[in-house]
Amino acid sequence: MSADFLVIGAGVAGLSFALRAARYGSVVVLMKGGAYQSNTAWAQGGIATVLPDGMCSSGDGVESHVADTLDAGAGLCNEAAVRTIIGEGAATIEDLMGYGMEFDRKDGRFELGTEGGHSHRRVLHTRDTTGLKIATALIEAVRETPNITLLEQHVAIDLITTAKLGAVADDRVLGAYVLNAKTNEVRIFRADRVVLATGGCGKVYLYTTNPDSATGDGVALAWRAGASIANMEFIQFHPTCFYNPGATGPEARSFLVSEAVRGEGGILINAKGEDFTLQSDHRGSLAPRDIVARAIDRELKRSGADCVYLDITHKPKGFMPERFPYIYQNLLNFGLDCETQPIPVVPAAHYQCGGVVTDVAGRTGITGLYAIGEVACTGLHGANRLASNSLLEGNVMARLAVADCLHRFAPGKPVPAAPVIPEWEPGNTAEADELVVIYHNWDEIRRLMWDYVSIVRTDNRLRRAAARLRNLGKEVREFYWGHRVNADILELRNLVTAASLIVDCAVRRKESRGLHFTLDHPGTAERLRHDTVLRKF
């Protein structure tokens, strides 16, 4: 199969790219699962945007949004990237509304919410299902676009590049080997422009707000292809995942209680009713996420409690069902009325701030290979992402990536002849007889990452994690080459790679900055104010 553009992943970034690119050529979009299994579809908060004068909060402006983003990023943001992406906010809202997306309004004006680290109300939203509404609008538009082929249950195995085929002088992407998970067939998907839009790697951790699909696929594919990866130590933990020990199924275990609830006055308290977050930062429950997550971690360790509480009971009756109907109803389904009871919450892995090194147009070091959205590391987030900046980044990067593709290699322009691409090398074709190995390794990776590489780290814990992951990586490789490929093996292979990249970056950062906090190096060192960049070859 071949196309002008091959897009791997179908969140806001991949779908925005596909819709725009389809004006200029044929597009294939690969999805591992179904259409709504993306971090975008699960996003509750909204899109942080500064609108033109008169439509934004009084006193707000692009400069304030830039300043808040830089402040959250703890010295590691790329200011030029921040300015470009934040400056495109109004264009993003216009682009999404062009596909039928609507944002909540009051008296004809956009209703603006807020979250941790924002100095003004600037988060456009659709109640508490903003991401689902965006995903729905974009997927409907994609399904109506004849130039786009949307393929569910298709898993990218490896990227095909000229360097991998032995031509080292000009490293160019040629497509990908792809598994059809329904038929278990592997095919070559040929394209001179390949876009990784696979989202993040929350499933690397035992507790996460991410869907099951978030297994670090894009980072792992890019790593194996020889692209640079940076800042994987900066994994953002969301402070308020619903604590639900009896939960069965990923959606119940990973149920997020949006930070926008704190934006509307929700306060984090301990079992005694004390607002413990004020000891860490004067902004209390609305400080940036790294600070709040660490405050909760400290409180849990100090008190020995299993969870803390998010209290919104002081709001007038009717407020929660009106402003946060999805959260309100889900909590009721779990037996909790948040109008009268504080919500038990714990932090959980939420967002990958590092990723494949790119510019704001998603260009990687491999010609024709782009990475956009959460999978990319543009420098927008630095050492900690400002809440609700990521749907914005996904759409902006998609638009800039299409423009860059057209500028460099528009469909129809001649490209150097591609070498012959060999058929997929299947390794041993024995059926995977011991799936228990996959499930055991999967659980072990997630637990060890939670125990050794989560909110608070030490040199010792990181060393242990690195050693264990090396062994797990070897076992997974043996299993991968020893058996017929299937979607579970592919995810496990990517998961162990993403986990190893997180640990390898964390080991190198001998300071505490943003989301990386280590007891052995508690201070921030000016000489270490640079990205952690890794390359396989």
Cβ 480 to ligand SIN shortest distance, Å: 33
388 binds ligand SIN (CB under 6 A): yes
Helix 435-452 crosses helix 459-482 at what angle (to 10 degrees)?
A: 160
Q: Which two structure tokens, joined as six digits, stand for 200?
A: 């993040």
Cβ 316 to ligand SIN shortest distance, Å: 22
The DSSP letter of residue 221 is: H
Decide whether 29 or 320 has the Cβ nearer to ligand SIN. 320
Closest residue to ligand SIN, based on beta-carbon distance: 45
Largest CA distance in the chain: 69
Residues 24, 157: Cα–Cα separation, whole Å: 27
Residues 338, 424: Cα–Cα separation, whole Å: 53
Catalytic residue ranges: 289
| Closest by Cα among 401, 532, 529, 383 to 85 | 401
Site string for ligand SIN, 436-475 (x = CB under 6 A): ----------------------------------------
Using the contact rule CB under 6 A, the part of the chain among 274-282, 382-390, 414-422, 515-523 near ligand SIN is: 382-390
Q: Site for ligand SIN (CB under 6 A): how many residues?
A: 8
If residue 65 lies in a helix (H) or strand (E), which one and from where to where?
helix 62-72
Decide whether 25 or 202 has the Cβ nearer to ligand SIN. 202
List, in sequence order, every residue forming a beta bridge with 156; answer none if it has no partner.
178
CB 27 within 8 A of CB 10: no
Cβ 388 to ligand SIN shortest distance, Å: 4
Residues 421, 91: Cα–Cα separation, whole Å: 40
CB 239 within 8 A of CB 268: yes
384 binds ligand SIN (CB under 6 A): no
Q: Which residue is it, tokens 């919410």?
A: 113
CB 351 within 8 A of CB 208: no
Quick one: three-class SS letters along 319-346? HHHHHCHHHHHHHHHCCCCCCCCCEEEE
The DSSP letter of residue 36 is: T
Q: Which two structure tokens, joined as six digits, stand for 511?
A: 């300071």
247-276 binders of ligand SIN (CB under 6 A):
258-260
Site string for ligand SIN, 339-378 (x = CB under 6 A): ----------------------------------------
Cβ 498 to ligand SIN shortest distance, Å: 19
Cβ 147 to ligand SIN shortest distance, Å: 31
What's the count of helices (H) and strands (E) in the chain, helices before strands? 16, 21
Decide whether 126 or 390 has the Cβ nearer to ligand SIN. 390
Decide whether 116 or 368 has the Cβ nearer to ligand SIN. 116
Using the contact rule CB under 6 A, the part of the chain among 185-193, 385-393, 420-428, 435-443 near ligand SIN is: 385-393
Which residue in 37, 38, 40, 44 binds ligand SIN (CB under 6 A)?
44
Decide whether 14 or 45 has the Cβ nearer to ligand SIN. 45
Decide whether 294 or 363 has the Cβ nearer to ligand SIN. 294
Decide whether 13 or 260 has the Cβ nearer to ligand SIN. 260
CB 291 within 8 A of CB 317: no
Cβ 370 to ligand SIN shortest distance, Å: 23
Q: Which two structure tokens, joined as six digits, stand for 364?
A: 């990687």
Site string for ligand SIN, 316-345 (x = CB under 6 A): ------------------------------
Decide whether 66 or 387 has the Cβ nearer to ligand SIN. 387
List, in sequence order, every residue forming a beta bridge with 175; answer none if it has no partner.
160, 190
- Which amino acid is located at 319 in the chain? F
HSE-up of 466 (CA within 13 Å, CB side)? 16
Cβ 391 to ligand SIN shortest distance, Å: 7
45 binds ligand SIN (CB under 6 A): yes
| Closest by Cα among 471, 535, 503, 508 to 223 | 535
Q: Where are the beta strands (DSSP E) in 367-498?
A: 369-371, 376-377
Decide whether 83 or 289 has the Cβ nearer to ligand SIN. 289
- Contacts of 158 by beta carbon, 8 Å cutoff, 6+ apart: 164, 176, 177, 221, 224, 225
395 binds ligand SIN (CB under 6 A): no
CA distances from 119 to 5, 65, 72, 373 (A): 40, 8, 11, 24
Residues 84, 104: Cα–Cα separation, whole Å: 26
Cβ 496 to ligand SIN shortest distance, Å: 26
Cβ 292 to ligand SIN shortest distance, Å: 11
Which residue in 50, 155, 287, 387 binds ligand SIN (CB under 6 A)?
387
73 binds ligand SIN (CB under 6 A): no
Cβ 113 to ligand SIN shortest distance, Å: 9
Decide whether 60 or 128 has the Cβ nearer to ligand SIN. 128
| Closest by Cα among 269, 279, 265, 374 to 324 | 265
217 binds ligand SIN (CB under 6 A): no
- Where on the chain is the footprint of ligand SIN (CB under 6 A)? 44-45, 258-260, 387-388, 390
